[in-house]
Amino acid sequence: MMRRREFVAALAAASTAMAQEKVERKGRLKQCVTRGVFARDMPFEETCRIAARLGCKGYDLVEPADWPTLKKYGLLSTMYPAGAGGTITDALNRKENHDRIEKSIRAAIDLSAANGAPNVITFSGNRRGMSDAEGADNCVAFLNRIKSHAEDKGVTICMELLNSKVNHKDYMCDHTSWGVDVMKRVNSPRVKLLYDIYHLQIMEGDIVRTIRENLPWIAHFHTGGNPGRHEIDDTQELNYRFIAKSIADLGFTGYVAHEYSPAPGRDPIKSLDQALEIFDV
């Protein structure tokens, strides 16, 4: 007969194996993560291992130097990090930035294409007294300069919609209508919006109707609970399972990246597993 000590050891080993077993998601939505969903002190490679085990397909906003680690765990770099396309405060709505950003975003597009990475992030920049109409004209002018290169390389430039009420005061691309107007004027399959659900809930609400009406101009989603940008469960005001089902029912083929920070006292890994399950529709 197996001794009690051996039985306990075997049981513990079996439990560990179960805990490490890869979670298979249904796959209607391709989900990915950002660094903030993990504990701050967790090594990057460990976050990749956990993300892959929990069924993630990719990882947003990772520097190219870390892409080999993503590939080691079968993860895709799903959004080239900020910088190449400007910064949140200083980007495409200023003509004086165009030459500099064009050089860096072309290089980012080339590197992304060579590594199978689908998206490069960009921003409008802050208003600083500029009218929304002038800023839109400047963004359209820049994106028209670069869109053929993105089209040739098969990489999508994603301008992020952010809130200017709480987190990013004075940011220009803060309403879907403004962003969609820019996208329509550029009219390229490789220039679209990054629709951040947390930010747009603060600015507009009416999330599902807005997504349904504007999905052709959206390439990527970010999630986060409001208020506080914590978990996307029932501790906040949005019905994320309904949002996820609505996006999936529209036939969306891009990526949804979870970009929340776990609330104090919450287990980050359990929170991520829960978020992935909510979007597993």
Q: What is the pLDDT along the chain (281 residues), one digit of tens a residue?
A: 445 454 334 333 333 433 468 999 988 999 999 999 999 999 999 999 999 999 999 999 999 999 999 999 999 999 999 999 999 999 999 999 999 999 999 999 999 999 999 999 999 999 999 999 999 999 999 999 999 999 999 999 999 999 999 999 999 999 999 999 999 999 999 999 999 999 999 999 999 999 999 999 999 999 999 999 999 999 999 999 999 999 999 999 999 999 999 999 999 999 999 999 999 99
Give the sheet arrangement for strand 156-161, strand by strand: 76-79, 58-60, 30-33, 255-258, 218-223, 191-196, 156-161, 119-122
DSSP string, 144-208: HHHHHHHHHHT-EEEEEE--TTTTSTTBS--SHHHHHHHHHHH--TTEEEEEEHHHHHHHT--HH
Interatomic CA distance for residues 31 and 84, integer angstroms: 24
Predicted pLDDT of residue 3? 52
Predicted pLDDT of residue 16? 40
Q: Choose among 201, 120, 114, 108: nearest CA to 161.
A: 201
Predicted pLDDT of residue 4? 46
Q: What is the pTM of this model?
A: 0.92
The ranges assigned to domains in the chain are 23-79+224-281
